[in-house]
Chains A and B, each alone.
Chain A
Amino acid sequence: MSGTHAHTVAFVADGKLPDLPPPPGASGAIGWIRENLFSGPLNTILTLASIAVVALALPGVLDWALFKSVWNASSLSECRSIIAESFGEGQGGACWAVIRERFDQLLYGFYPAELRWRPNVAFVLLIVAIAPILFDNVRALAVGAAAIVALKALAGAAGVVDGGVGGLFGATTVVLAAAGALAWFFGGGAHRRYWLMFSAAFPVIAYFLLWGGLGLEPVASSRFGGFLLTMIIGVTGIAASLPLGILLALGRQSKLIFIHAICVGFIEFIRGVPLITLLFVASTLLNYFMPPGTNFDLILRVLIMVTLFASAYMAEVIRGGLAALPKGQYEAADAMGLTYAQSMRLIVLPQALKISIPGIVNTFIGLFKDTTLVAVIGLLDPLGLTNPIRADSNWNGIVWELYGFIAFCFFLFCFGMSRYSMHLEGRLRAGERR
């Protein structure tokens, strides 16, 4: 065969030639840059413009935030004089000393200093309670706990913190170590049921830890503030609004006219009213309508309002998921002879919630940020605390550092939530990837 054309053709390949490498500049780093940054005139202009903006802004920002910043000072004027002394007159630098001095206040508000281990323990337990809900396997918790304990030990050994090693190992570390050990030995999927039981019990535990009772010294609501308050309102709102929202969404679909009307009325009313109005109702109007001398805790009132507000939005998000589900799924569940509760629990909701994840997390993030609105009714969340801090004559005139720090903390939480939601979407899409 190969000889057939031997006389007429000069060369016949008798196998596949090896692939040539792509031309230089089409692969590797250069290729990526050409492909993604300079693929056309418009893209090139945009890239150059972006680089110019970054190059213009970044040195100034870094200079301000890091290189010319002051961490140790007791007042803004001291900061300014230190900056003028070390970097020359007229230089601007960040005065992070205010964060250093007011860090505890921004975290705990006016919570008594000697009892601050209780919010700390509550926070550790919160993570322990959330982990089994978010992940099948909680072993990672052990690694995290070990890392933190090790860091503390290192910091103590290095003498970074006043009070030596002893001051670093309080109740929080003990609880952290215990949780880590439990997670390591019983963190597998087989024991998830018990972890979830703890999650269900967590709100009660947290209540007694934070407000006192059962032998713990009581702490008045007026002493709560800072990120502690943000976490209380945010976490409660998030945890309570999801189940309420599911119920409302299902109620809105109900064929029972009474339930349907109540759910529609509630959702539309709440969505038609700004959150800040509801907060004013909670803080001022309710005072007038309750009998004199009633002590209805302000934080509790705010929690109820925030939860109701978020649940109405949640209901609409979940309704979207329910509507996106093909009708055949509902009919198939009915054809299987499942009861309403069974068909919802086993067929409809798992699929509908999966579709709604981005919307649900969106609502969570919005709610978490909305907690700063409570500053308007005189609750001192981190944003509310900036006022009395800036009114202190030592720190009067400081703006960027405080707001920047608070923004950074909020970003961490919100970014975390958003990344988790993407992770969850990826995990739940496993079925569709086949």
Chain B
Amino acid sequence: MTPTIIAGAVASAVALAASGAAAATLDDVKSRGNLQCGVSSGVAGFSYTEADGSWAGFDVAVCRAVAAAIFGDAQAAQFTPTTGKTRFTALASGEIDMLARNTTWTFSRDVDLKFEFVGVNYYDGQGFMVPKALGVTSALELDGATVCIQTGTTTELNLADYFRANNMSYDPVPIETNAEAQQKYLANACDVYTTDASGLAATRSTFEAPTDHIILPEIISKEPLGPLVRHGDPEWGDIVRWTFNAMVIAEELGVTSANVAELAAGPTDNPEVNRLLGTEGEYGAMLGLEKDWAVKVISQVGNYGEVFDRYIGESTPVGLARGLNALYTKGGILYAAPFR
């Protein structure tokens, strides 16, 4: 057998497994009684365990929202911790129903790996962190700096591109993990640490004196992170996509976990709120869900803004500003298709 044939055989086995497991995911999930959701095995603010053993975080909340939409119970989500290496096989093989694991939406993942990204729940990008004492305010002043960078990642390539494009030189300090980077950076082995901006913020939040370090305003790459499902069951993809969209639309319309019960009690003056909360039209039935599915999502998990503030917002130690992730009406690029 030539390598091509072997690769072909594996690929077709993958396709077989994927298509077989994907049919009518909603029915499978309903008969199983819980949603199997793949999450990261630990990213500050995005997925972590509470003291009682339950999972929480910004990515975890997407899973909980989908569970609330289907079962009316956000606790009906079961979590499978996945690593960067196991996440895609777990999804392709049907071990999990959806993946919400700070995964960047790229062409090859979407097309070649046969997954469907249903939206972007966090617009991330590569940034730089420097000690305040360095007196640097822009990434363009970093000529000749030593940079701590994780090897074998896209951040490494982005960094090289950015410095070349701006005619600057740098001295790379290769590191393996975020924890190692943290130590190297604090020990002044490098002037700059670069990784995804959310990661920088989370890392900075763990320092003893976080205010001594600043994250530079330049973001040099696009890292749209979002939940994904496998190819082969568009109805299932719709459920995940519109559960997420419902959270964004709820923020747009000012529907929060505090006032959703009141707004859902009867038709309001705003028809879009009525459609979202099921007091007008039969939108739930079109998805194969209950009429008040979005009410369950918003009351148990919250709208997008609430979830953001609860886990990664400026009041949390992670302390991320909304930035790109603000609604399009507030200067961000968060824009959900209309609910009609």
Contacts and interface: CB of A to CB of B under 8 A. Distances in A.
Contacts of B16: 292
A157 B83 CA distance: 46
A391 B47 contact: yes
B94 A388 contact: no
**Most chain A beta-carbon contacts within 10 A, residue among B42, B55, B89, B182:** B42
Interface string B93-118: 11100000000000000000000000
A388 B47 contact: yes
Nearest to B79: A222
Contact of B179 (A104, A291, A389, A399): A399
Contacts of A399: 179
A392 B80 contact: no
Interface in B28-55: 40-53, 55
A101 B10 CA distance: 45
Contacts of B80: 222, 378
Nearest to B182: A397
Contacts of B137: none
Interface string B80-96: 11110110011011110
A345 interface: no
A393 B17 contact: no
A287 B41 contact: no
Interface string A269-299: 0000000000010011001111111000000
A1 B61 CA distance: 109
B45 A391 contact: yes
A62 B224 CA distance: 47
A283 B95 CA distance: 10
B42 A292 contact: no
Interface string B147-174: 0000000000000000000000000000
Given A109-B53, A110-B53, A392-B50, A288 B10 contact: yes
Contact of B85 (A113, A280, A392): A280
B85 A393 contact: no
> Main secondary structure on chain A at its contact with chain B?
helix
B41 A80 contact: no
A378 B50 contact: no
B21 A293 contact: yes
Interface string A80-118: 100000000000000000000110110001100100000
Contacts of A80: 208
Contacts of B57: 391
A110 B57 CA distance: 17
Given A101-B51, A102-B51, A391-B42, A396 B95 contact: no
**Most chain B beta-carbon contacts within 10 A, residue among A80, A101, A377:** A377
A391 B46 contact: yes
13 contacts: A76-B206, A104-B53, A109-B53, A113-B52, A280-B85, A283-B86, A287-B90, A292-B16, A292-B21, A386-B42, A389-B49, A391-B44, A391-B46
Given A378-B90, A388-B48, 14 more contacts: A287-B90, A288-B14, A288-B17, A292-B17, A375-B41, A378-B82, A380-B81, A384-B81, A390-B42, A391-B49, A393-B45, A396-B205, A396-B318, A397-B207
Interface of B: 10, 13-14, 16-17, 20-21, 40-53, 55, 57, 78-83, 85-86, 89-90, 92-95, 179, 182, 202, 205-208, 316-318
Which 5 pairs show the lowest CB-CB distances between chains A and B?
Answer: A397-B206, A292-B20, A387-B42, A287-B93, A391-B48
